[in-house]
Structures are given as C-alpha cells and as structure tokens.
Amino acid sequence: MKIQTPLTKEKIKNLKAGQTIYLSGTIYTGRDSAHKRLKELYDQGLDLPIDLEDQVIYYVGPTPSKPGEVFGSGGPTTSGRMDAYAPLFISLGMRAMIGKGYRNEEVKKAIQEHTGVYLGAIGGAGAIISSCVKSATVVAFEDLGPEAIRCLEIEDMPLVVLFDSDGNDQYEFGKNDYLNNKGK
C-alpha cells in the first residue's frame, strides 16, 4: 500500500499492525540530542523549529553523504531512547514515528489517544533506505552533525506498521502468529 505525507488522522486510522507500506513525501529526522533540545525549547515556552502537526519523525543519524549523493547510509536507530519525549510530541500533533525496537506503555497510550502510528524500518538496511531519499536539507541544530534535524523528501520508503492506533503490536502479534501457525 502506498501512502503520502502529511499523515492525517484519517490516513492513520486505516493502517494496521503487520501491514507493509511505501511512504512518500516530506519527513523529518531527529534522534537523541535533537529530541532533548526540542523538549528544552518547549519547556521554555519557545517556538519549535518545525511544526509537528501531522508530521513524521524518523529516528536516524545518517552517515555523511559522499559528494554527489543526497543522503548517506541511513537505517533506523533504537526508538526506545526517544520514549521519554515521544508522548509530548504526539500530543503536539506528531502523527508518526519511524524507528526500530520496543516502545514503552506511555508511548503506546499516546499513540492510541491521539491517533498516531509507530512504523518500523529494517534495522541495518541503511543503503536500501538511502536510495529512497530524494533530497535532504538540515533545518535545525546543524551543530549536532548526524543528529541535526533534516527535512527529507522520500519516495516509496518500505516500512512495516509496528503499533497501530487501535493498540495492535506487531512485535507481539508476529511472534505469536509464527509460533502458533508456522512454528509447529
């Protein structure tokens, strides 16, 4: 299934855990330090450098791009480290997160409450994912290097719905489905 950003609540509602989707459009990158800074700006009552409404944040710190290349190798980083910040950003309108690995209960609760979604990119598949990136521009926190916030234009990035707005978790479902049906 192909899907285009921005991700409205209507689009999100149709996404179900286990589904493979191909995402196109504008997304933002951001990981540990960028999240910390965004939270600090929010706590001080200052404007954030990006408008989160219906936006997607990809947890990634790419390798430097070679001359002539748009984006370096860029697979997902472990999402759990962003759990401390995610519920706040979801409440501010952020609709989707792309990463890998477990999320805590607060994040899952926020996803259900605000109709969000957690999408999985395959850990380590940095070269393949890079080939989906058509442009990349640093939009905030340039001094953070690989951790700076970049605006990416992507085309058909392959992703799996890991946690949907109805509360279904592919990490639980996939394991049990395999054990109950295929593992015998």
Partner 1 sequence: MREINCQLITTTIKDMCIQANCHLPSDLQQRITAFHQAEDYSLAKDTLQVLIDNATLAKEKRMPICQDTGMVTIYITIGQEVHIVGGSLEQAIQQGVREGYEEGYLRKSIVSDPVFDRKNTFDNTPAVIHYTLVEGERFDIQVVPKGFGSENMSQVKMCKPSDGIEGIQAFVYDVVKSAGPNACPPMVIGVGIGGTFDKVTQLAKKAMIRTIGSNHPDERYALLEKQWLEAINGMGIGPAGYGGKTTALALHIETFPTHIAGMPVAVSICCHVARHTEVSL
Could you confirm whether 114 is annotated as catalytic? no
In this complex, which beta carbon is closest to partner 1, that of residue 10 or of residue 180? 180
Tally: H helices and E strands in the chain = 6, 7
Catalytic residue, chosen from 3, 12, 17, 35, is 35
The neighbouring-strand residues paired with 96 are 56, 117
Question: Does 128 help bind partner 1 (rule: CB under 8 A)?
Answer: yes
Question: Does 25 help bind partner 1 (rule: CB under 8 A)?
Answer: no
Question: Does 30 help bind partner 1 (rule: CB under 8 A)?
Answer: no
| Residue 41 · residue 89 · CB < 8 Å | no
DSSP per residue over 120-131, as a string? EPPTT-HHHHHT
CB of 146 to partner 1, least distance (A): 5
Nearest to 121 by CA among 153, 83, 154, 159: 159
| Residue 22 · residue 158 · CB < 8 Å | yes
Alpha helices in the chain (DSSP H): 9-13, 32-43, 86-91, 105-113, 126-130, 170-177
> Residues binding partner 1: what is the number (CB under 8 A)?
44
Question: Does 74 help bind partner 1 (rule: CB under 8 A)?
Answer: yes
CB of 95 to partner 1, least distance (A): 22
| Among the residue ranges 1-9, 38-46, 111-119, 128-136, the one whose residues contact partner 1 (CB under 8 A) | 128-136
- What is the binding site for partner 1 (CB under 8 A)? 18, 20, 60-66, 72-75, 77-78, 80, 100-102, 120, 122-128, 130-131, 145-146, 158, 160, 170-171, 173-179, 182-183
